[in-house]
Structure 1
Amino acid sequence: MRAATDGPEEIPGILHLDMDAFFASIEVRDDPSLQGLPVVVGGAGARGVVAAASYPARARGIRSAMPMASARRLAPDLVIVPPRISHYRSVSARVMAILGDVVADVEQISVDEAFLDVRGARRLFGEPARIAELLRARIREELGLPSSVGGSVSRAVAKIASARAKPDGMLIVPADRTADFLAPLPVGVISGVGPKARASLERLGVRTIGQLRELPASTLARALGPRAAEISALADGSDRTGLGHRTRDRSLGTERTWDEDLTDPQEVRRRITMMADDVSRQLRRSGFVSRTVVLKLRAPDGTTLSRSSTFDQPTASGERLREHVVALWERERGSMPRVRLAGVRATQLEAADGAPVQSELTARSAGWTDLEAAMDRARDRFGSESLSRGSTLSRSGGEAPPSPSATGWERRDRHGSHNSG
């Protein structure tokens, strides 16, 4: 969507707020002895990868998705912290609550970043720069975490500006300075200009956005394909794309790579059941329902399978997600005797309050809805580890192996013992 330029007084009303090294910053906040050290969040095993790196770690050349072995070579004094995903999501919810407290128009795009249209908040809080500083100050004071904000007349430029403001900074690009701001930057900062597109542009002698702006439209179309017009508008500063609030293109999910391959089909079943429950809780907390669930499996040799199943009606029920992903696994287990990675993802999301209601709600499904609502309340109060299915309890320590038909739940007290409930 494109809006006309309002003239010299046009304000950069789109902000992009990005938490700085979010997972690592939370760990440092929770353990101040880590301050100033090269801290990474991730798996410490032979197959471990870096999920997040503190800025002292980044100064050593360590980046997200880097194999942990490489990170250790770059920083022999590396501090590796295992991830606490449920904790990070809880902190994320508090960040988003702060944003929603100040700005009505918020589009969360990941656990640690969001776009905001602050034009409607100006009467209460002042100009975009003032609002950005207010948000950053509240996040710092209430949560003890750093964040960076970029502002512009378009979401794409706001995101580029927030990246240039890091760490712990702010950069607001005036409308009439947008083209000048972008001109010296490498074309790779534009979302959607990946390695192939960069290579095509480099063959034309184009390395910066300013150089891209000088290309004839026909040449740009050959190099970039259907996105050429969109990227051209961004490069010349005329783009005015705001918040989208698209939910059908979004997805929520989780996946994990294990240090040791899983060879027991029941253990795979247990793990993907836990993932289905986790994804369903994400859906309920985010106010979405899903039409399709996707199961991803990867073998030690890198062979990857992705299988999906679509529901009759959109859902956020962990039991329905579990039933579908387990059925997908049962169909594929013979083709993948060893599993290195598994993931569960809910796609084709819709707002829960706008989704069609089930025409026939059985007693069993109604019971699960009530049970899951009660579980959410208990987990919010006592922590995400306070409840789990009996079928997902670890088989270590003499516990009974998971039964294919088990759907019971267990409550864990603070000492880790298990009580049926």
Structure 2
Amino acid sequence: MGARRGAEAPEEIPGILHLDMDAFFASVEVRDNPELRGLPVVVGGAGARGVVAAASYPARTRGIRSAMPMATARRLAPDLVIVPPRGDRYREASAAVMELLGAVIADIEQISIDEAFLDVRGARRLFGGPEEIAALLRRMIREELDLPSSVGGSVSRAVAKIASAHAKPDGQLIVPASHTADFLAPLPVSVISGIGPKAVLSLERIGVHRVGQIRDVPPSTLARALGPRAPDVTRLADGSDRTGLVHQVRDKSLGTERTWDEDLTDAEDVRLRITVMADDVARQLRRDEMVARTVVLKLRSPDGTTITRSSTLDQPTSSGERLREQVVALWERERHRLRRVRLAGVRVTHLEPSASTPVQHELTMRSGQWRDLEAAMDKAVDRFGSSSLSRGSALGPGASGSQQTGAPPGADGD
């Protein structure tokens, strides 16, 4: 028999969750030092050019936000507690969070150091509905890692992310499919991912300020304002978007960059510092069991002039010595263009698992000796800290005196 005439279709259960750690870098620092709990804590550089990489919620009540100059943050909170960034510690905490998520949910898309999308449709039989799964995940992270998180849920990844922002701090919000359009309607158009300041101005020029107003705009008018994104935005606004996790292969990268309180004027000093950065990036590769084919050097002068240069290797590597050779060569080619250096960064791209790459005898040392040496260096750094040793090529005046005023890759904004 067919369905009864007039019978309503069953409510579509939200299957996409977005989990976002709350003030991640600052929360890790407070967890590791409970004496900071309740204080206005920020992670970032304390120098004149320092910026806020992350702010605890007590700091946010004072008006302090990520990317704010540290001098401004100090004026807003004279009792501000400034903690220097510890990238390795945040990456370690991130890996622990993702491991916990993976113990419950099979289908995960990590999109930054502190957030991930999860398709929970396959987990409902074991763990219940999206509300129960969200509560379970947040409880596991709180109890096992002592870190707060927030979760949003929807039938759409875009709406799930918006919902998680509304759930902060330390909460959850699951938006039923039938309520999606109503939930979005009063929100400013800027909440839509990809709608930046220019797109906001374009929409405001046609009288659109809230998401709900998008539904009333003729398609041709919206296309003139937003270009090819217009149909996607319309589906989001009317609640018909069903975009789930994205699993295409991404060109991932790893890297580090530093800004100094005083400009670097000595070319040898710059060489020493980028050598240290190359070793740090190589350690990240080895930790993640990855190799890289391309190394990128980024340099910035006090006037904002930025130079980015890259070099592609004939064989992918995780060797600090190989990365050091490449970044130093790039620096030597560009050093005449920058008399003063404010910021430098080293990044690697075109990554692949090291297990899938044949071992290459790429150095002049006897086969395996560099790998053994760098493995021993990794163990020493893990045990005694990153300042416990340096390769000889990194020794020199000022080599260890840099101050990191930026954030590790994937800066913490929530």
TM, length-normalised to structure 1: 0.86
Segment drifting more, 316-325 vs 334-343: 316-325
Q: Would you say the 8 A contact 1:288–1:349 is kept in 2? A: yes
* Residues 378 and 97 of structure 1, relative CA distance in 2, 3 Å threshold: farther
2-structure distance, mates of 1:42, 1:293:
26
Match 1:152 to one of 148, 154, 172: 154
Give the CA deviation at 1:315.
3.2
CA–CA distance in structure 1, aligned partners of residues 354 and 128 of structure 2: 34
Supply the distance in 1 between the matched residues of 2:285 and 2:196 (Cα, whole angstroms).
30
Where structure 1 has 5 or more consecutive residues not aligned to the other structure, the ranges are 1-6, 400-421
Contact 1:20 1:168 in 2 (8 A): yes
Of 226, 229, 241, which aligns to 2:231?
A: 229
Task: Identify if the C-alpha distance between structure 1 residues 324 and 231 changes in structure 2 by more than 3 Å, giving closer, same or farther.
Answer: farther
Change (3 A) 1:175 1:99: same
Q: Note the alpha carbon deviations across 1:159-189, whole angstroms, 9 max, x for none.
A: 1111111000011112222222111111111
Q: CA deviation at 1:274?
A: 1.9
RMSD: 2.3
Over 3 Å counting, the alpha-carbon distance change for 1:163 and 1:394 in structure 2 is farther
Residues 1:362 and 1:228: Cα distance change in structure 2 (over 3 Å):
same
Change (3 A) 1:176 1:286: farther
Give the structure 1 partner of residue 199 of structure 2: 197
| 3-state SS, counterpart of residue 109 of structure 1 | strand
Cα distance change, pair 185–288 in 1 and its aligned pair in 2 (3 A) = farther
Q: How has the CA–CA distance of structure 1 residues 390 and 378 changed in structure 2, closer, same or farther, with 3 Å as cutoff?
A: same
Which of these residues, 297, 300, 303, is aligned with residue 302 of structure 2?
300
Q: Give the unaligned 5+ runs of structure 2.
A: 1-8, 401-414
1:111-190 correspondence runs (5 A) = 111-190=113-192
Change (3 A) 1:321 1:237: farther
Q: 1:372 aligns with which of 374, 379, 390?
A: 374
Q: Measured at CA, do residues 208 and 322 of structure 1 come closer, stay the same or move farther in structure 2, by a change above 3 Å?
A: same
The match for 1:321 among 323, 331, 342 is 323
Select 1:42's aligned residue among 38, 41, 44.
44
Cα distance change, pair 65–267 in 1 and its aligned pair in 2 (3 A): same
**Structure-2 change in CA distance of 1:287 and 1:18 (3 Å):** farther
Shift of 1:352: 4.4
Partner secondary structure for residue 257 of structure 1: strand
Question: What residue is the counterpart of 1:342 in the other structure?
Answer: 344
Shift of the 118–314 alpha-carbon distance from structure 1 to 2, 3 Å rule, reads farther
SS at match of 2:315: strand
- The SS at the match of 1:47 is coil
Deviations 1:127-166 (A, max 9, x none): 2221211111111111111111111122211111111110
For residues 344-396 of structure 1, the C-alpha deviation after alignment (integer angstroms, 9 at most, x for no partner) is 1222334445x554676566474434443444455445555545323334636
Count matched residues.
391
Corresponding residue number in structure 2 for 1:274: 276
Report whether the alignment pairs 1:291 with 2:282: no
Match of 1:411 in 2: none
CA distance in structure 2 between the partners assigned to 1:235 and 1:350 by the alignment: 38
Deviates more, 1:323-332 or 1:232-241: 232-241
Match for 2:81 among 64, 79, 82? 79
Deviates more, 1:59-68 or 1:375-384: 375-384
Conserved 8 A contact 1:12-1:174: yes
